[in-house]
A and B are shown apart, each in its own frame.
Chain A
Amino acid sequence: MDTASFIRRFVGLILLAAFQIFLLNRIVLFGYVTPLFYIWMIARFDSSISRSGVLLWAFSLGLVIDISSGTPGLNAASATLLAMFQPALVKMFVPLERHVVLVPGPSSMGGRAFAGYLLLLTALHHTTYFILRSIPLGDWTVIILKIVLSTLLTFVFMLVAEMFTAGTPGNKHS
């Protein structure tokens, strides 16, 4: 990875973390639902980064959010887990002959496949996140409600973000 893309990714990490900490963490619908939009960065990792690189970026992102929101380890753990499975998730939604996907996106994967990929990715992350957060596990209906509703909200955020970033330089691959 060259210096330019490292810096771009680093700035992206800081901006996403700040957006999550100062804005999204304050959103609480019905006392349960919080969008965890920061995983957008993990969803968009392209295959040019090594798997170790993906893990380290995701871990750092989670840790930055943890340190500023008083939840040491919580976001780091769930983001790292997601980063581990992200490449496999991409493969699940792309036909075998197109395994050379660079950036996961609607143009490279197809709109429907990309939406499915985002939804599954979000669900995986939110499940680990809310289970870890709710330890010692108490009321399962509440935990499941938090997972399902927050997943949907984060997913909506991602679709909106996709609409805004469509056509920008980051999307030019494929």
Chain B
Amino acid sequence: MRSLLDFIVRHSYVFLFILLETLSLVLLFGFNDRQKMAFMTSANSVTGSLFEWRTDVEQYFALRKENATLATENARLRNLLYELVDSQYVDTERALSVDDVIVARVIDNSVRKDDNYITIDRGTRDGIVKGMGVYSPDGVVGTVMAAGRRYSVIVPVLNGRTSISCKVKGSDSFGFLEWQGGNPYVAQLKDMPYHAAVAEGDTIVTTGFSSVYPEGIMVGTVADVEHMKNGYTLRIQVNLAVDMSNLRWVYIHSRMRDSEIDDLYRQIN
């Protein structure tokens, strides 16, 4: 008995090892619910503040470039404004909708994982709600997955969960944008009808069907068109307009979906 106790005491580190390793593996496999995980790690205030602090430092060094980008966008918007004033044209649909744009800063981002997430420094107190569309001056970025009080987590295009309704600019055929991992500059547009006239270099934009995004937000350009064997659909490789690895500011489209549409869908189902 005594020698057994001796043995246990002398090899206590082995038991500690088993305990710690089990604990680690329970954590590893227990938190596979990525939604919960992303929220836990990024949207909570402690890490959120740390990421924000790091971004502050990084952005200080990128100010010159940042200014140039903002100036370019300013110019573009100004042009748009003049065109609008010139045409004396009022888009009634747009004027009646409750479109609102929130600007947010990207404080954490990844592009190399199989499922990437982006954290921004705006949350529920700024009016962010789960399901809102996120885009940058260059184009579509993703959808809000979880909103904390001060921070939110976005599922970007570069995530297996993403599916965004898109169409070829100037036509009405639409499909769904998905990403299968790997190259962070290319995504796939699936379920386009076989007869759709699509050519390399065509522009892909959002449809606005889901009211997550406004209609006509840039997504990317067609890199390659592949006819699926099923004879019904096309698969299109899309060069993404947004460089996800270099994202600093984003806009959140906070147009509230009309609850009447949801009610109708609920009646059908």
Contacts and interface: CB of A to CB of B under 8 A. Distances in A.
A44 interface: no
Contacts of B25: 73, 77
B21 A80 contact: yes
Interface in A77-125: 77, 80-81, 84
Which of B31, B47, B112 is packed against the most chain A CB atoms within 10 Å? Answer: B112
Given A28-B112, A68-B50, A77 B13 contact: no
Interface stretch (A3-11, A59-67, A149-157, A158-166): A59-67
A73 B13 contact: no
Contacts of B1: none
A50 B28 contact: no
Contact of B20 (A22, A50, A76): A76
Nearest to A66: B27
Interface string B22-50: 01111111110000011001100001001
B23 A76 contact: yes
A28 B252 CA distance: 28
B259 interface: no
A62 B24 contact: yes
A72 B27 contact: yes
Interface residues of A, number: 26
B85 interface: no
A74 interface: yes
Nearest to B42: A70
Contact of B13 (A51, A67, A74, A132): A51
Interface in A29-87: 31, 34, 50-52, 55-56, 59, 62-63, 66-70, 72-74, 76-77, 80-81, 84
Consensus secondary structure, chain B interface? helix
B31 A73 contact: yes
B31 A72 contact: yes
Contacts, number: 67
A80 B24 contact: yes
A76 B42 contact: no
Contact of B28 (A34, A55, A68, A74): A74
Q: How large is the interface on B (under 10, 10 to 19, 20 to 34, 35 or more residues)?
A: 20 to 34
Nearest to B50: A68
A52 B13 contact: yes
B12 interface: yes
B28 A73 contact: yes
A73 B41 contact: no
A62 B50 CA distance: 18
A50 B21 contact: no
Contacts of B37: 70, 72
Nearest to A134: B114
The residue in A31, A55, A77 that gathers the most chain B C-beta atoms within 10 A of its C-beta is A77
B256 to A, nearest CB: 30
A31 B112 contact: yes
23 contacts: A22-B54, A34-B112, A52-B12, A52-B16, A55-B13, A55-B20, A59-B20, A63-B24, A66-B27, A68-B50, A69-B41, A70-B117, A72-B41, A73-B25, A73-B30, A76-B20, A76-B23, A76-B27, A77-B24, A77-B27, A80-B20, A80-B21, A84-B17
Given A59-B20, A76-B27, 4 more contacts: A52-B12, A70-B41, A70-B42, A72-B27
